[in-house]
Amino acid sequence: MTITVQQIQYTTDPSAWHALARALGLERLPGGDGSWSESVGDGVLAVHRVDSSADERTEITLLADGVEALDLLERTLVGAGATVRRTVLDDIGPLLVVDGPLPMTVTTSSSTNVGSASPLMIMRIRYAADVAAAAAIAEAVGLQRRLASDSGVWTDFTATGGGALALHRADDDSVELSFEYSGDLDALAARLTDAGYEPHIVDEAYNRTLRVARPDGPDLWVNGAQQDLYGYTRSN
């Protein structure tokens, strides 16, 4: 079974997100339109049009490589203590809706395992009070634990088909779209500048981070791949 992490960005301005995705180095998949499109790197970024800024958000989605995989994931999630609903959408097909403790959707898609060689990894960040409970669900669906802080504040996971999910301890639950870049961050900043953006790079305790204005909401963060493991443990 192959699982791929997909970030869905709901936006009133899909064309602006398409341009930013292209500037970041993501490859647009054929078959999309002004309402729905997918771009791939290491993982998948989907852009979905909404009519109101009140509906702009980002969501966690996992892509499975077949209905049989979806059936297995449903049984596994229920066995792990997740609250799961199953439905069918006309334009998507069968869909698992996980209400907790790690809210997300799981569906089948031909976009699994299409972009794992890219240096730009889609990394969804889930902020939650109970990181351990969310981590148990992430492992139950086959995500592979990669990096964890000794303090328990941060744990991240990678997917065999591309993409990553990070869990960050916080008082309020929320989801943030972000990326991790394993290439030259300065070269990526130059590429964005050439495309008309104004990125800036800041030093963080773990590495450097590129920030660039996004079409809606706060700056988009592109974290450099973490090399300094002080205070962290790497599993893979």
pLDDT tens-place string over residues 168-182: 999 999 999 999 999
The domains of the chain, with CATH numbers, are 3-108 (3.10.180.10), 120-234 (3.10.180.10)
- 169 phi and psi, to 5 degrees? -70, 130
H or E segment to which residue 47 belongs: strand 43-49
Instruction: Give the contacts of 118 (CB within 8 A, at least 6 positions apart).
Output: 25, 26, 27, 40, 41, 42, 162
Are residues 37 and 18 in contact, defined by beta-carbon separation less than 8 angstroms? yes
With H, G, I as helix, E, B as strand and everything else as coil, classify residue 113. Answer: coil
Question: Using alpha carbons only, what angle is made at residue 162 by residues 117 and 45, rounded to the nearest 5 degrees?
Answer: 100
Cis peptide before 101, with omega less than 30 degrees from 0?
A: yes
pLDDT per position as a tens digit, 70-88: 999 999 999 999 999 999 9
* Residue with more model confidence, 18 or 218: 18
- In the prediction, which pLDDT does 18 show? 96
Are residues 150 and 141 in contact, defined by beta-carbon separation less than 8 angstroms? no
If one counts every other C-beta atom within 10 angstroms of the C-beta of residue 174, the result is: 12
What size, in residues, is the chain? 236
Report the relative pairing of strands 164-169 and 154-158 from DSSP bridges.
antiparallel
Q: Which two tokens stand for residue 232?
A: 């962290």
Are residues 163 and 123 in contact, defined by beta-carbon separation less than 8 angstroms? yes
- In the prediction, which pLDDT does 7 show? 92
Question: Using alpha carbons only, what angle is made at residue 125 by residues 127 and 170, rounded to the nearest 5 degrees?
Answer: 15
- pLDDT-derived band at 90, boundaries 50, 70, 90: confident
Rg (CA), the chain: 17
pLDDT per position as a tens digit, 23-40: 999 999 998 888 999 999
Q: Which residues pair with 174 in a beta bridge?
A: 127
Sign of the torsion angle spanned by Cα atoms 127, 176, 182, 226: negative
